[in-house]
A and B are shown apart, each in its own frame.
Chain A
Amino acid sequence: MSDIRPLPLSMEDFIKTLPSEICSQPELYVIDGKTPLSAFRPLHIDQISKIIQFANQYNFAVSPQGSRTALTLGRKLERYDIALDTSGISKLVEYTPEDLTVTIEAGATLQDLQSVLAEFGQYLPADPNPSNAVTIGGLLATARSGAWRGNVPSTRDLILGMTVVMADGSIATSGGRVVKNVSGFDMHRLHTGALGSLGIISSASFKVLPIPERSVSLILYCSNINEADELAFILRNSNLPIRGLTILGSNTSLKLGFSRTPKVLVEFAGIEVSINRSIKDTEQIMSRFGEIDQLKDSQIWHQIRSFANEQKEQIVVRCGVQAKNVAEVIELAESNTAACAWGNLTSGSVWVVFEDINVVTLSKFRSQILSLEGFMQVEAAPMGIRDIFDPFGDIETDLVRALKHRFDPSGILNPGRWMVGV
């Protein structure tokens, strides 16, 4: 259901000043049932700046969006007047393969970036949920990561600099384009994960890495979660070139077409000889456990990422716990409800997709995670849940409010995403 609001005169006049090709249809940008007054798809950073300046002047709330894959991450928007579609800002700004550095505009998708880099045998090691269709701006604003996190340097480790349109329309850059830089405050780290609440990311620079010569994924069969846990720890401590190490809960395993018992999924990436050694060593380790299968490609990792998809009426949560608790949390999540869970040992992240869960049970689950000194964040959920359940849990509020007040005093950027008024 959506609401259609009359266009204020100021907005009508403003639209007349813009090239028609950047004005889009508001009904394509509904968020939580709410249609914005206007939608713009700027093609240049100066146009973003102009739109934000206008919005700030007339106090219209703006919601930046790229591939629209994380619209239900965070609380419901308090206000929503302008949809800012960043997908038109997608140029490659600079790429110097020899320096392993790239600068790209925020509306380009991760897939676009990987294609450019692949021509030179390089890549940005980022594997966010739900897929590589996310834009660079979205990747950064949500700071999402996947199974590679903690095993190889990830987006947060490789970001070198960023250009942002501030809430007053000014353009601010931080960091730089060289691989090592500590000049000034790392504003790019502040915007990474800030859900667009402090500024609109317009471009970013990264250090990139060579694509490993070869990668291989193995699925390791276990009879129970304790065995999977033990096995995952053996692998983690093995020194082998691991890029992904995930414990799959029984339900996740079933959903992927395997038997209903926990599994360990491991990806090795490196040169041919080290991959061969990794397979051999894993086979040897598995002689004490169960069967082992070498997968024909890496499709399974994409499949898992796609489970955390907000398009369905499901609740997706991300838990952060210590490595020793990963298996326990997977078991806990899957034993309580019709849920599927998987966890990455190195990063301590456990993702859970609940097909159906009430707020009381969800709260109880969060309490259990908190008792392990961990956290639970709701990554995607229907509006009804987000209306009454805090997606983030206990976070530092005073500093976040102070930052919001200074960065966006009128509260026009994604207002309410973090907390009331922020």
Chain B
Amino acid sequence: MENNQLTALISDLSQKIDSSKILDAPEDLLVYEYDTSIDRAVPEVVILPTTVDEVSHAVKVAEQYNLPVIPRGSGTGFAGGALPVKGGILIVLTAMNEIREIDAENRIAIVEPGVINLHLHEALEPFNLIYAPDPSSQRICTIGGNVGTNSGGPHTLAHGSTVNHILGIEVVLPGGRIVWLGGKQLDTPGIDLRGVFVGSEGTLGIVTAICVNLIPTNETIRTMLAIFDSIDSASEAVSAIIRSGVIPMAMEMMDQETIKVVEPRVQAGYPIDAGAVLLIEVEGVAESVEHDSAVVVSACNDLGAREVRIAKSTLERESLWEGRKSAIGALGQTAPAIYLLDGVVPRTKLPEILNKVLSASSEAGFKCANMFHAGDGNLHPTVLFDPLEPGATDRVLELGGAIMKLCVDAGGSITGEHGIGLEKRSYMEWVFTESDLAAMEKVRFSFDPVGNFNPCKILPTGHGCAQGHMQITDQHFSAPGVYV
């Protein structure tokens, strides 16, 4: 963008947005050129709105200049969904972080999109209520971002993804129009625009307020750690538990590579020599928890568990979870970079696909750690690599594609909770036909006929977007935090 045009843009934006909330200095913009994916892209302008009217104004101004608008929360997305690949105005919603209302009697809360997931959980504690979605990044990810990607988390097994917990959303649409989709109740009349909006990764509009459904905390929670010598037997235990008719709240697996990295850093109590551990949680009234945990223990023992530990205190329970939730961060400390994948397979195919993932990684010359939502068949292979090593990034991306293909061939999906973003657009054609994608495009353009809301995301084709990953241009980084 030419300098005089940029000056005019800033001037138009500042008519209704305080200039302290508008960033255009190159050093400020660079802070927002990456999320948690591999690619990078710099916006023309960043704004940090605190009201819906400011978001609406920014959308109107962007239209005048035919610029893309890209919503962003904490930037924890792994799929490049928050990258402004065609430039434009990056709308960072982290300053809209108020929990506006907790209505315990009616079990709803109204929050702004920048509220950190964990902050909502903490605010609900005194009411004995929970907001069920709990992505592993909940300490930093925002509820708005969770809505954008329809996030999951360990407890998705019992409670489902974010969409099941969103009653209504206030959104800014093209033209700066502000509307509520859904409401404060379930199943509001009309076509379920709320349902299709959740998970649309900012391509249909920008979420500025969210009405979430809350559920009560259970009377009893029991967390168990089942220790196995191999991933195969741990996977079989997962199937055996489901087969028995018990659906735990969560069933998380970590492989040896992950345990070796996590335990020394977090001291969660995972045996360092285990082949795999399963973190299993059952909840309910005391009687059913007794029953369900007995079923779990017995299934694990039948499948050769070395030991099944039951957390005896809240502290011990939290410590077991701390290990799981810190796993990605811990892995990130062991290598210059990690590439975390997200794929889903039918649960019964877990052992087969995991073995193939490990073989593919080893053939490509990379270490791969696995920590994942076993109960849902949702894999997160994490490849450790050094982006400074010539060709390594390309080989990692190629490996990522090969792993996704394994999931697709097994009847699974290319993403269970991270979204398609930029990263997986080119894989969409492995899963969907031209006609499937054409139908999705109809939704996209019903909301945003020009295609300026988060362009080049989700759909693989069209509108001047290159296929697959964007080229890293010459003014960018050589490694996270290193400017050359």
Contacts and interface: CB of A to CB of B under 8 A. Distances in A.
Interface of A: 96, 98-101, 121, 143, 145, 149-150, 153, 156-158, 164, 166, 170-174, 176-187, 189-190, 192-194, 197-199, 209-210, 213, 237, 239-241, 270-271, 273-274, 276-278, 320-324, 347-349, 373-375, 377, 392-393, 395-396, 398-400, 402-403, 405-407, 418
A344 to B, nearest CB: 10
Nearest to A277: B287
B102 interface: no
Given A178-B345, A184-B440, A190-B191, 8 more contacts: A149-B186, A150-B186, A182-B152, A210-B247, A240-B285, A273-B291, A320-B183, A375-B183
B376 A179 contact: yes
Given A179-B377, A183-B424, A186-B150, A96 B348 contact: yes
A320 B285 contact: no
Contact of A321 (B177, B185, B447, B459): B185
B179 A172 contact: no
Contact of A143 (B192, B247, B284): B192
A248 B384 CA distance: 60
Contacts of A174: 432, 436, 439-440
Given A183-B414, A324-B105, A396-B179, A143 B187 contact: yes
B190 interface: yes
B150 A393 contact: no
A349 B187 contact: yes
Contact of A241 (B107, B285, B420): B285
Interface string B356-390: 00000000000000000100111000000000000
Given A173-B436, A349-B186, A396-B190, A271 B291 contact: yes
Task: Give the residue among B189, B192, B459 with the most A Cβ atoms within 10 A.
Answer: B189
Contact of B247 (A99, A209, A405): A209
Interface string B404-443: 0000000111111111100010001001110111111011
Nearest to A198: B191
Task: Give the residue among A158, A174, A181, A187 with the most B Cβ atoms within 10 A.
Answer: A181
Nearest to A321: B185
B348 to A, nearest CB: 5
A145 B458 contact: no
B442 A406 contact: yes
Contact of B443 (A187, A274, A418): A187
Interface size range on B against A:
35 or more
Interface stretch (B14-22, B48-56, B63-71, B160-168): B160-168
A323 B199 CA distance: 28
A274 B287 CA distance: 5
A347 B105 CA distance: 13
B105 A99 contact: no
Contacts of A209: 247
Contacts of A273: 287-288, 290-291
A182 B187 contact: no
A402 B344 contact: no
Task: Give the residue among B177, B191, B218, B345 with the most A Cβ atoms within 10 A.
Answer: B191
B57 interface: no
Contacts of A192: 192, 195
A180 B164 CA distance: 12
Contacts of B344: 176, 178-181
B192 A194 contact: yes
A320 B216 CA distance: 21
Nearest to A197: B191
Given A98-B347, A172-B436, A192-B195, A182 B185 contact: no
Contacts of B243: 98
Nearest to A194: B191
A309 to B, nearest CB: 20
B149 interface: yes
Nearest to A94: B411
B105 A166 contact: no
B64 to A, nearest CB: 21
B194 to A, nearest CB: 8
Contacts of B187: 143, 145, 149, 156, 193, 320, 347, 349
B190 A407 contact: no
Nearest to A326: B106
B432 A173 contact: yes
Contacts of A178: 344-346, 376-377, 411-413, 416
22 contacts: A96-B348, A100-B247, A101-B346, A149-B187, A153-B159, A157-B160, A170-B438, A178-B346, A180-B417, A183-B420, A185-B200, A187-B440, A189-B198, A273-B290, A276-B287, A277-B285, A322-B103, A348-B186, A374-B185, A396-B179, A399-B173, A399-B193
Nearest to B459: A184
B143 interface: no
Contacts of B481: none
Given A98-B347, A176-B412, A180-B344, A323 B106 contact: yes
B446 A399 contact: yes
Contacts of A349: 185-187
Contacts of A324: 105-106
B380 to A, nearest CB: 12
B86 interface: no
Given A241-B288, A377-B189, A392-B190, A185 B443 contact: yes
Contact of A185 (B108, B192, B199): B199
A67 B459 CA distance: 36
A80 B164 CA distance: 35
Contacts of B200: 185
B242 interface: yes
Contacts of A271: 287-288, 291
Given A239-B285, A277-B287, A406-B446, A322 B192 contact: no
Contact of B413 (A183, A270, A276): A183
B245 interface: yes
A347 B186 contact: yes
Interface in B134-166: 149-150, 152, 156, 159-161, 163-164
Nearest to B196: A190
Contacts of A406: 442-443, 445-446
Contacts of B412: 176, 178
Contacts of B373: 180
Nearest to B160: A157
A242 to B, nearest CB: 10
Top 7 nearest A-B pairs by Cβ distance? A189-B195, A395-B190, A320-B185, A172-B439, A210-B245, A273-B287, A180-B416
A227 B152 CA distance: 39
B288 A239 contact: no
A181 B428 CA distance: 13
B186 A190 contact: no
B190 A166 contact: no
A176 B16 CA distance: 44
B83 interface: no
Contacts of B440: 174, 184-185, 187
Contacts of B189: 375, 377, 392-393, 395
Contacts of B288: 241, 270-271, 273-274
Contacts of B192: 143, 156, 189-190, 192-194
B72 interface: no
Contacts of B179: 396, 399
